[in-house]
Structure 1
């Protein structure tokens, strides 16, 4: 994906300037966080299951070449087609070629962060093909010309009034902010799309190596419609999104639903095995599964490979205080929040390097991750790699260099301390700095900074009281 024109810090400023949107994001994320906590408290074997899920992901990625080959062989045995795409360009080109060869005019699309990652919609539209998102949230995002703000809740930043205004303007219907009415409007519009679409495109929540099946998870049923009604179904799968067996899939689905939405199981969990067979009346005539690398093979086996364990539940976003404060759009990436802060620089390059620094390292993300990814550790490793490669901001490198020299020299450290104490006495008011210079203004805009004590602990230790 392309970098945005604004810097990360400018996007943060823009986000904080929209208090209504931020309130909607914080309230929505907190509700999902609370739903997860309730669902997990009713799951007696939660920790055992999380450990088991982590083991499944680790085992799968440790032998990924074997499981990918097994999966591909089984898909083809079921009558499906496999295409190995190295990057976004190859993936988009292959799907465009299918569309041209089969005279596809209209595509009905299920929610897929991977297709957002590769800008598939824009690629198809450039070729003159109409693409309609059928997930309700993604449909609203598409109508409004916006971007998703959360990996499972695309319109977390929007209010009911916002949605009503979008439908009024784009679908030419009377304004309403009633959820049932808005759902009915969307349903009426989408039903025609499902019936007319020549091709359905989806992501893949999980591929099952032992059978060649793919699993689609939705709460609206649109995944079943776009994968059965159109004559062609194209499923785009990240190369890491495999489980070895159906038993492993069962464990993942239990955790995915509880972590994402607080449900025991997602409303529609569809397991698809190949295209329509002879004498069958349902299903596509053709099934194409595109297995996409797009930088994942470089992550595999690296110090950051654990990020590939992610099952895209969004729980880490809902737990993250930074995400609550700035929302998803500020990250400028398909993948916001803690998981996106690690993944985005790896997939999209240097413009996303500031993201790993947008974390307090509080550990809330690790506590809620269904596969126990050590996200704080990965964020630290990502920062460390940037420093080692000289890619951290110049001001940060300079300040770290000065601190390293000063802290290793007792004379310099003492001189710096005494200088700070003098400045504190001259500029602080009643023991507090109300305004700080330069980049430190970001702190003092919202809170005061305490002045240095008249005597440091070291000074007190060197001259203990006579008591």
Structure 2
């Protein structure tokens, strides 16, 4: 199903769509206030962008350095070329431990690899411990946002979900009561967990360490209680030195939620006595994107979600309309790299207003890349035939002034006589469902200009 069709499903609930739009814009405003409080924020953006550009230019070298240092620290390092290999590695570690209780903190990479359903198919139950992730897991939904996975839901939806699965009172909507119910529900899972899986926000080649940033502390609790910690990491998460990290930690939370810093920024360098730490380095299309000069910079993304909070299309269409792990503008760049045919509509889900580029903390030229993907998709003949032929026809009209002028005159005249019910028929002209055409002008701009500026 294309993005427009999925977006149509979301926008049927006008009240929810408006609420979703306003809530994300509120987060965007929090981001702006946090940014304005840091005079050197633009310098930090530029420095972060340069660090990422440098790292990507020597990614193979830094990955080898990270592996060598991590192994020296007693860490087990695994390599996975795709999602299937990643999932198989995780399952193998779990079976080696004879583990039956698995918990996972927030990890978009494991969502990308569809780890949860894979483990369930192999008889392994896994519990997400991030509150938003647990809510959508109970509802058998995917996250709709990088940072706010349940942002598409209202407290009434959460209350109904917890009533069904956690036994809270029917109709309970008090956020404090619902949060406490989730806390009590997850506490037993934390205590019983034998294996804890986490994502990785940053990995440091110099030290062989991985860094996990959370606001709830669930990752720290899980990996410190379990005897085995599996950290799933996209290879683009690497930075060269420990001293580089502070640049990104000053950018990440401010861009994501308007906080000065995440509540917990935890470093994992070596396993504790009697425990194991496994790091899985995952490609899954990243080297392919690295080989595309026009789209290489998308690998700089630090998954803050700022581009989603500001995007007028994402805010009105919802994250699930993108049908990809990473929704929004950055997802519309990453997804065609994975499957161009399936995600051909996503680069067109943008006004190209450039707001996403303006707020990106690592200065990815998002709107430019969206435009370039459109060219690639059109050249590959992956756009709908109706759009392809209508654009060809329009290009011919626009390239011929006489034809353009004749068409404009015909439209101005016919709009005075065609019935309103016909020009605004929903099935024929969906654009006009919530819009009204202005009165047709008596003359075109060209005609007016010739009349007011006669040649001498």
TM-score range, shorter chain: over 0.9
1:195-216: CA deviations, max 9, x gaps?
1111111110000010000000
Q: How far apart, CA to CA, are the structure 1 residues paired with 2:159 and 2:113?
A: 30
Kept after mapping to 2: 8 A contact 1:434/1:447: no
Aligned length: 453
1:29-67: CA deviations, max 9, x gaps?
122112111111111111111111111111111111111
Equivalent residue runs for 1:211-250 within 5 Å? 211-250=207-246
Of 384, 390, 395, which aligns to 2:386? 395
C-alpha RMSD of the superposition:
2.0
2:441 aligned with 1:453: yes
Q: How far apart, CA to CA, are the structure 2 residues paired with 1:400 and 1:136?
A: 46
Q: How far apart, CA to CA, are the structure 1 residues paired with 2:317 and 2:198?
A: 29
Q: How far apart, CA to CA, are the structure 2 residues paired with 1:438 and 1:415?
A: 27
Who is 2:68 aligned against?
73
Q: How far apart, CA to CA, are the structure 1 residues paired with 2:95 and 2:16?
A: 41
- TM-score of the superposed pair, with normalisation by structure 2: 0.94
Who is 1:281 aligned against?
none
2:247 aligned with 1:251: yes
Equivalent residue runs for 1:194-213 within 5 Å? 194-213=190-209
Of 137, 156, 161, which aligns to 2:151? 156
Q: How far apart, CA to CA, are the structure 1 residues paired with 2:238 and 2:129?
A: 25
Kept after mapping to 2: 8 A contact 1:433/1:451: no
Kept after mapping to 2: 8 A contact 1:309/1:371: yes
Change in CA separation of 1:56 and 1:209 when aligned onto 2, cut-off 3 Å? same
Of 281, 294, 306, which aligns to 2:284? 294
- SS of residue in 2 equivalent to 1:200: strand
Equivalent residue runs for 1:110-129 within 5 Å? 110-129=105-124
The CA deviation at 1:403 is 2.1
Q: How far apart, CA to CA, are the structure 1 residues paired with 2:453 and 2:310?
A: 47
Kept after mapping to 1: 8 A contact 2:2/2:345: no
Q: How far apart, CA to CA, are the structure 2 residues paired with 1:336 and 1:118?
A: 15
2:324 aligned with 1:333: yes
2:435 aligned with 1:435: no
Q: How far apart, CA to CA, are the structure 2 residues paired with 1:364 and 1:170?
A: 40
In the alignment, structure 1 segments of 5+ residues that lack a partner are 1-5, 278-283
Who is 1:187 aligned against?
183
Of 69, 87, 93, which aligns to 1:92? 87
Aligned structure 1 segments of 4 or more residues deviating by more than 6 angstroms = none
Query: Which stretch of the first structure deviates more once superposed, 377-386 or 177-186?
Result: 177-186
1:442-467: CA deviations, max 9, x gaps?
21111123465332233344455779
